[in-house]
């Protein structure tokens, strides 16, 4: 038996470590966005590797650097950006479940590709939920504060279900150019030439966060008839590619605002929003546009 409550003591956070789950769907009428894991596919894989439901919260680690010490024995899994990881100096595998004993320390280095690593724990990170979710929404400020050194993350009771897989094959992440698929609309008529959205090589800006990725490249122009016009604010979805008056697109991620005041010219496919959420500043990105 351990001498402490089951939990993870935070020894280092890296640039940003947040508690995330699948967010708060259905509250847009209160002005509350969904938030939740930026790369939902990787978050879900972590839950499956531990044989638990998607309700269990995990830690979303941006650019590695996290270190946690176990209070009690905990079953863990790392998914998303493959940050090299060790437990008391011994390497542990990515996208696989592993046991960490009481008193042992997990350390994540900086991933060579990808941005966000998910640390899932069997039982889930059991902080109090806000409006039905433990996700931190960096735009609205809802949910738990970012992790700080000295925090002890309580771990919930394990579920009655058991893991039935130890290791999952995952597509390797690249630091090279990525292609994300998008559907044109709803406001493609606010671009002088929508094809340029696909033809332009974009670079992920360092001014990107969980709200959205800014894309740098040759600015897109509005048609003559739209110059000086304003679009009344309207509802936006995750994956929306919004083009402000300046012409450099913003791709909305998990913490996007409920409504936006600039035209959304295309929307990225759900699976590819996960891919975009793993793009690091400086990474090359192209948009594969469907005109259907």
Binding site for other proteins (CB under 8 A): 25-32, 34, 40, 130-131, 139-142, 182-187, 232-237, 239-240, 257-259, 264, 267-270
Cα separation of 69 and 107, whole Å?
9
Shortest CB 149 distance to other proteins, Å: 26
**Residue 151 or 274: which CB sits closer to other proteins?**
274
Q: CA triplet 198, 172, 22: central angle to 5 degrees?
A: 80
Shortest CB 57 distance to other proteins, Å: 17
Angle between helices 40-49 and 270-277 (to 10 degrees): 90
User: How long is the chain?
Assistant: 292
Closest CA to 32 of 207, 281, 191, 258: 258
Closest CA to 66 of 20, 121, 105, 107: 107
Shortest CB 135 distance to other proteins, Å: 13
**Residue 54 or 110: which CB sits closer to other proteins?**
54
Q: Is 45 helix (H, G, I), strand (E, B) or coil?
A: helix
Shortest CB 55 distance to other proteins, Å: 16
**Residue 10 or 253: which CB sits closer to other proteins?**
253
Contact indicator for 14, 64 with CB cutoff of 8 Å: yes
Q: Where are the beta strands (DSSP E) in 94-219?
A: 97-100, 105-108, 116-121, 152-154, 178-184, 202-204, 212-216
Shortest CB 110 distance to other proteins, Å: 30
**Residue 63 or 142: which CB sits closer to other proteins?**
142
**Residue 137 or 155: which CB sits closer to other proteins?**
137
**Residue 119 or 277: which CB sits closer to other proteins?**
277
Shortest CB 162 distance to other proteins, Å: 25
Closest CA to 80 of 17, 141, 149, 132: 17
Please provide residue 190's backbone torsions phi and psi, each rounded to the nearest 5 degrees: -95, 5
């Amino acid at each position: 038996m351990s001498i402490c409550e089951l939990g993870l003591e935070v020894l280092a956070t890296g640039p940003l470590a947040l508690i995330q789950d699948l967010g708060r769907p259905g509250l847009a009428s209160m002005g509350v966005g969904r938030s939740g894991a930026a790369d939902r596919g990787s978050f879900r894989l972590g839950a499956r590797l531990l044989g638990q439901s998607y309700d269990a919260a995990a830690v979303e680690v941006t650019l590695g650097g996290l270190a946690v010490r176990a209070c009690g024995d905990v079953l863990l899994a790392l998914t998303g950006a493959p940050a090299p990881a060790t437990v008391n100096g011994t390497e542990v595998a990515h996208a696989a479940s592993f046991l960490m004993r009481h008193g042992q320390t997990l350390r994540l280095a900086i991933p060579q590709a990808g941005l966000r690593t998910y640390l899932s724990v069997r039982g889930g990170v059991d902080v109090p939920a806000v409006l039905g979710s433990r996700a931190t929404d960096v735009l609205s400020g809802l949910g738990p504060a970012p992790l700080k050194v000295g925090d002890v993350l309580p771990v919930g009771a394990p579920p009655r279900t058991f893991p039935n897989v130890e290791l999952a094959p995952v597509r390797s992440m690249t630091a090279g150019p990525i292609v994300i698929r998008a559907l044109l609309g709803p406001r493609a008529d606010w671009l002088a030439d929508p094809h340029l959205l696909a033809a332009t090589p974009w670079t992920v800006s360092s001014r990107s966060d969980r709200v959205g990725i800014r894309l740098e490249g040759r600015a897109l122009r509005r048609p003559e008839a739209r110059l000086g016009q304003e679009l009344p604010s309207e509802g936006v979805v995750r994956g929306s590619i919004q083009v402000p008056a300046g012409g450099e697109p913003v791709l909305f991620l998990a913490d996007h605002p409920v409504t936006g005041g600039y035209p959304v010219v295309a929307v990225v496919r759900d699976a590819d929003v996960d891919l975009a959420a793993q793009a690091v500043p400086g990474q090359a990105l192209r948009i594969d546009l469907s005109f259907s």
